[in-house]
């Protein structure tokens, strides 16, 4: 006899598909924010399911800081090709060249915060009214307060204290001209859920997530990969380590962890025994206790 | 962990820091090993800064800057933890009367409500308010945790007296399933682990209750309701004639070959195929997201509902709802609000406010016709077109509505169809 209930992964999948379809039904010009990281890959995969047998009706949008892992860019281009969707690239380098933003100065300078301007400019330029993100509420304390449909004012800002209440499955995506929304279909997934699902569904991810040999340097307790953008400090040495990445951001700020997990199954095993959060190796979140909240208010992902 | 069978349970907790709500959640996360070392280190260092000895468990649930500064919860925050038996989502909501709307929001999707009572104070207004909202929002299970038992010498008599108080006032409410547990969130008694101080208590610790509550029946599997979200028209080779009606089954079970009616038009047809993702299935049930095709070519669009021929909702333009006002600006008479109900959207006006509910005393006030933020009232609604209605008691998904004020685009009210 069949049992008429879903297990938790099936329920999360169904919820995410519901939200993706709701985005399609309520907005004129929605896109998926695609970074090449596992969360945006998951969202894209869920979108494929949500609209099968039709094509994914969203373009993928990538905010390119110029400081990329080459593997992630290759992965992005392959997936765009395979799905036959449009790719919109917002370039931070272009924002710098046109004087919209200035490169940060100092030792820990990154292009992380600069992405906000590029992101909002690209949204405006392409008249995007909803940007679908892979943000999850378990990632960070400010994200724990995020809605499925999250309103952004004319300035692209998030007002966490004045959010629309979200009840049952009734999502209000109404906005005035110039405003936009962010939608977060995998809000209720945890890192563990994502890995379990990616493994179960045999979804391809960039090789960076699997353990591999790489030249790295120890910085603030994380292994930062060697790249053309890395400026070595006098006391730093480049060493070779077997590492993998738990999240993918800019190559300049994403730290790897030492690991032997070179298959999906081994990653699931490893993540289930992890004692540190995945963003613990992201120096963008370490700047202050409210680093994420502050950036999100300004319009960050 | 056997992920193939484990279910997802959503529960809500309401209360203030004084009840030990945050401490309880912190304790659940901590004892179920759901807190990471970097989170622990961050809380340890903040605790130290504030001059608190050891770890302040409550700080695990602090979110926004203002909340940390003021030491209160303002908005609904969602927390996650997993045990070998289930995945849990906690909707952590503030308990003060001025945040009734957030309590309602957190309660709207919950399978269970955890009601916290301070053992020293017994049932207070806030307990009644929270329980009333749990019953109004038809939360299937209620777990009453009598907290701070360590401060009343783990007294069985105190516990029993509070249970009696609770039984007395809650007998006036519609509650299906309630259980009582004496706990100390601070010391961990009966939260995750069984207490060594209360051998007189024969029940299970709180986490065990949460892991074993029967929740498969929380969703209505009798009345089949399928609101159409969008229509899939692939326009690619091999699918030229495909018209898939996509949506999330709100309740009930559908099988290929079922005779169905499409509402509000009333046309009849048969289910030709059901797709779950890229797989074809023979049957599907709530809350699955699927795409259906029908034998006949009927004009169907977003907002329509596919139901079984022999079990149909009521079609009506005038009906009563219990309305919770969510917005800073009060109700405006004669305003045409947008009403959202399943995937359907129409205009609605509030014809009459029948009575206002005092959420502390459960008294009805028929004279007060003013609806302000956090007020709960029974109102008469009239909509521009017929809606496909079920009562909220029978069906949380097809019995719920929200009102949107088009002049601000904000969600101003949440309603439960009577």
Segment 186-225 of chain B within 8 Å of chain A by CB = 215-216, 221
Non-local CB neighbours of A29 within 8 Å, separated by 6+ positions: A126, A127, A128, A129, A130
Per residue in A76-100, pLDDT (tens digit) is 999 999 999 999 998 888 888 888 8
Per residue in B403-417, pLDDT (tens digit) is 999 999 999 999 999
Evaluate the CA torsion angle B312, B317, B322, B323 in order and state its sign.
positive
Instruction: With a cut of 90, say whether residue B290 has pLDDT above it.
Output: yes
Cα–Cα distance measured from residue A92 to residue B84, given in angstroms and rounded to the nearest whole number:
44
Residue of A161, A167, A174 with shortest CB distance to B105 = A167
Domain that holds residue B235: 225-308
Instruction: With a cut of 90, say whether residue B196 has pLDDT above it.
Output: yes
Distance between first and last Cα of chain B? 42
Name the residue of chain B whose CA is nearest to A294's CA: B65
Cα–Cα distance measured from residue B24 to residue B18, given in angstroms and rounded to the nearest whole number:
11
- Coil/strand/helix, residue B149: helix
Entry field: residues in chain A: 301
Q: In this predicted structure, what is the pLDDT of residue B1?
A: 42
Same domain, B287 and B185: no
Instruction: With a cut of 80, say whether residue B14 has pLDDT above it.
Output: no
| CATH for the A8-194+289-298 domain, from 3.40.50.620, 1.10.10.10, 3.40.120.10, 3.30.56.10 | 3.40.50.620
Residue of A167, A274, A290 with shortest CB distance to B108 = A167
Last residue of a domain, one of B182, B212, B242: B212
Chain A contact for B281 (CB, 8 A cutoff): no
Last residue of a domain, one of B308, B340, B372: B308
Mean pLDDT of chain B, nearest integer: 90
Q: Are A263 and A231 in contact (CB under 8 A)?
A: no
Instruction: With a cut of 80, say whether residue B58 has pLDDT above it.
Output: no
Chain A contact for B239 (CB, 8 A cutoff): yes
Residue of A10, A138, A293 with shortest CB distance to B80 = A138
Same domain, B88 and B182: yes
Q: Which residues of B touch A185 (CB under 8 A)?
A: none
Q: Shortest Cα distance from B324 to chain A (angstroms)?
A: 11
Q: Is residue B407 part of a domain?
A: yes
pLDDT in tens, chain A (301 residues): 468 899 999 999 999 999 999 999 999 999 999 988 899 999 999 999 999 999 999 999 999 888 888 888 999 999 999 999 999 998 888 888 888 888 888 766 777 788 888 899 999 999 999 999 999 998 877 788 889 999 999 888 888 877 899 999 999 999 999 999 999 999 999 988 999 999 999 999 998 899 988 888 888 778 888 888 878 888 888 889 898 988 887 787 788 888 898 999 998 888 877 766 666 656 566 556 677 777 777 777 7
Same domain, B183 and B89: yes
Q: Shortest Cα distance from B291 to chain A (angstroms)?
A: 9
Query: CB count, 10 Å around CB of A159?
Result: 10
Q: Is residue B304 part of a domain?
A: yes
Instruction: Using pLDDT thresholds of 50, 70 and 90, give the confidence band for residue B74.
Output: low
Q: Is residue B359 part of a domain?
A: yes
* Closest by Cα among A116, A153, A120, A151 to A27: A151
Q: In this predicted structure, what is the pLDDT of residue A256?
A: 87
Q: In this predicted structure, what is the pLDDT of residue B286?
A: 96
Chain A contact for B336 (CB, 8 A cutoff): no
Name the residue of chain B whose CA is nearest to A275's CA: B36
Q: In this predicted structure, what is the pLDDT of residue A255?
A: 84
Same domain, B24 and B40: yes
Chain A contact for B232 (CB, 8 A cutoff): yes
Contact check, Cβ <8 Å, A165/B326: yes
pTM of the model: 0.92
Mean pLDDT of B20-34: 82
Chain A contact for B293 (CB, 8 A cutoff): no
**What is the CATH classification number for the domain harbouring B158?**
3.40.50.300
Same domain, B233 and B255: yes
Per residue in A168-193, pLDDT (tens digit) is 999 999 999 999 999 999 999 998 89
Q: In this predicted structure, what is the pLDDT of residue B351?
A: 95
Name the residue of chain A whose CA is nearest to B233's CA: A54
Name the residue of chain B whose CA is nearest to A271's CA: B36
Q: For chain B, what is the domain count?
A: 3
Tokens (6 digits) for A69: 């892992």
Cα–Cα distance measured from residue A83 to residue A79, given in angstroms and rounded to the nearest whole number:
6
Same domain, B279 and B329: no
Same domain, B295 and B318: no
Which residue did the predictor score with more confidence, A189 or B28? A189
Mean pLDDT of B269-298: 96
Q: In this predicted structure, what is the pLDDT of residue A156?
A: 87
Query: CB count, 10 Å around CB of A134?
Result: 25
Which residue did the predictor score with more confidence, A111 or B165? B165
Non-local CB neighbours of A78 within 8 Å, separated by 6+ positions: none
Reported ipTM: the value is 0.92
Distance, C-alpha B227 to centroid of its chain: 20
Cα–Cα distance measured from residue B82 to residue B84, given in angstroms and rounded to the nearest whole number:
7
Q: Shortest Cα distance from A61 to chain B (angstroms)?
A: 22
Cα B30 to Cα A223, A289, B188: the distances in Å are: 28, 21, 10
Domain residue limits, chain A: 8-194+289-298, 205-281
* Closest by Cα among A89, A88, A78, A90 to A41: A78
Q: What is the CA radius of gyration of chain A?
A: 19
Q: Is residue B285 part of a domain?
A: yes
Q: In this predicted structure, what is the pLDDT of residue A1?
A: 46
Residue of A49, A169, A289 with shortest CB distance to B397 = A169
Q: What count of CB pairs under 8 Å joins A to B?
A: 184
Q: Which residues of A touch B401 (CB under 8 A)?
A: 170
Cα–Cα distance measured from residue B176 to residue B282, given in angstroms and rounded to the nearest whole number:
33
Same domain, B176 and B271: no
Same domain, B106 and B236: no
Same domain, B239 and B288: yes
Same domain, B267 and B324: no
Contact check, Cβ <8 Å, B64/A293: yes
Same domain, B202 and B288: no
- Coil/strand/helix, residue B400: strand
Q: Which residues of A touch B237 (CB under 8 A)?
A: none
Q: To probe the interface with B, which of A138, A168, A184 has the most B CB atoms within 10 Å? A: A168
């Amino acid at each position: 006899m069949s049992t008429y209930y879903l297990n938790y992964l099936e329920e999360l999948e169904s919820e995410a598909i519901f939200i993706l379809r709701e985005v399609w039904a309520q907005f004129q010009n929605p896109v998926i924010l695609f970074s090449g990281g596992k969360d945006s890959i998951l969202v894209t995969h869920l979108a494929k399911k949500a609209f099968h047998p039709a094509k994914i009706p969203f373009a993928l949008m990538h905010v390119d800081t110029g400081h990329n892992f080459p593997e992630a860019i290759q992965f992005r281009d392959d997936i765009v090709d395979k799905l036959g969707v449009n790719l919109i690239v917002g370039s931070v380098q272009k924002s710098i060249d046109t004087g919209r933003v200035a490169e940060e100065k100092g030792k820990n300078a990154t292009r992380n915060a600069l992405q906000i301007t590029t992101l909002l400019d690209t949204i405006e330029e392409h008249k995007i009214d909803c940007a679908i993100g892979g943000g999850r509420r378990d990632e960070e304390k400010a994200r724990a307060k995020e809605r499925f449909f999250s309103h952004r004012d004319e300035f692209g800002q998030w007002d966490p204290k004045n959010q629309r209440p979200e009840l049952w499955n009734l999502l209000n995506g109404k906005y005035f001209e110039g405003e936009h929304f962010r939608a977060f279909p995998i809000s209720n997934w945890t890192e563990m859920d994502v890995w379990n699902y990616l493994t179960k569904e045999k979804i391809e991810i960039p090789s960076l997530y699997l353990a591999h040999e790489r030249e790295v340097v120890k910085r603030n307790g994380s292994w930062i990969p060697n790249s053309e953008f890395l400026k070595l400090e006098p006391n730093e040495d480049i060493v070779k380590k077997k590492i993998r990445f738990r999240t993918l951001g800019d190559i300049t700020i994403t730290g790897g962890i030492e690991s032997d997990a070179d298959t999906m199954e081994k990653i699931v095993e490893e993540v289930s025994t992890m004692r540190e959060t995945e963003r613990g190796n992201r120096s963008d979140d370490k700047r202050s206790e409210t680093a994420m909240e502050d950036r999100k208010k300004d319009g960050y992902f | 962990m056997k992920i193939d069978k484990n279910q997802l349970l959503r529960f809500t907790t309401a209360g203030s820091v004084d009840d030990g709500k945050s401490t309880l959640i912190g304790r659940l996360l901590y004892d179920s090993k759901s807190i990471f070392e970097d989170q622990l280190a961050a809380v340890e260092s903040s605790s130290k800064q504030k001059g608190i000895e050891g770890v302040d468990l409550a700080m695990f649930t602090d979110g926004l800057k203002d909340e940390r500064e003021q030491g209160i919860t303002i908005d609904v925050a969602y927390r996650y933890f997993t045990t070998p038996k289930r995945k849990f989502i906690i909707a952590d909501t503030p308990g003060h009367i001025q945040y009734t709307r957030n309590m309602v929001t957190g309660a709207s999707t919950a399978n269970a409500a955890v009601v916290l009572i301070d053992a020293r104070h017994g049932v207070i207004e806030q307990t009644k308010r929270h329980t009333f909202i749990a019953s109004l929002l038809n939360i299937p299970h209620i777990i009453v945790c009598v907290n701070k038992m360590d401060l009343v010498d783990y007294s069985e008599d105190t516990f029993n007296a509070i249970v009696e108080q609770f039984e007395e006032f809650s007998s006036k409410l519609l509650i299906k399933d309630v259980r009582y547990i004496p706990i100390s969130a601070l010391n961990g008694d009966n939260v995750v682990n069984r207490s060594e101080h209360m051998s007189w208590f024969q029940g299970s610790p709180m986490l065990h209750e949460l892991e074993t509550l029967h929740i498969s029946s929380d969703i209505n599997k009798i009345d089949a309701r399928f609101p159409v979200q969008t229509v899939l028209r692939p326009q690619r080779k091999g699918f030229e004639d495909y018209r898939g009606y996509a949506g999330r089954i709100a309740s009930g079970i559908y099988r290929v070959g079922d005779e169905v009616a499409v509402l509000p038009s009333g046309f009849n047809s048969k289910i030709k195929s059901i797709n779950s993702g890229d797989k074809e299935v023979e049957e599907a049930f709530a809350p699955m997201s699927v795409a259906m095709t029908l034998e006949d070519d009927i004009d169907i669009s977003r907002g329509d509902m596919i139901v079984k021929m022999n079990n149909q909702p009521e079609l009506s333009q005038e009906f009563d709802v219990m309305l919770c006002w969510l917005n800073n600006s009060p109700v405006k008479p004669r305003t045409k609000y947008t009403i959202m109900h399943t995937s359907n959207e129409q205009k609605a006006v509030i014809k009459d406010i029948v009575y206002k509910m005092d959420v502390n005393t459960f008294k009805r006030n028929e004279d007060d016709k003013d609806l302000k933020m956090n007020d709960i009232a029974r109102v008469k609604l009239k909509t521009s077109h017929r809606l496909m209605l079920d009562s909220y008691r029978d069906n949380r998904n097809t019995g719920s509505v929200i009102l949107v004020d088009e002049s601000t685009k904000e969600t101003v009210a949440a309603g439960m169809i009577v």
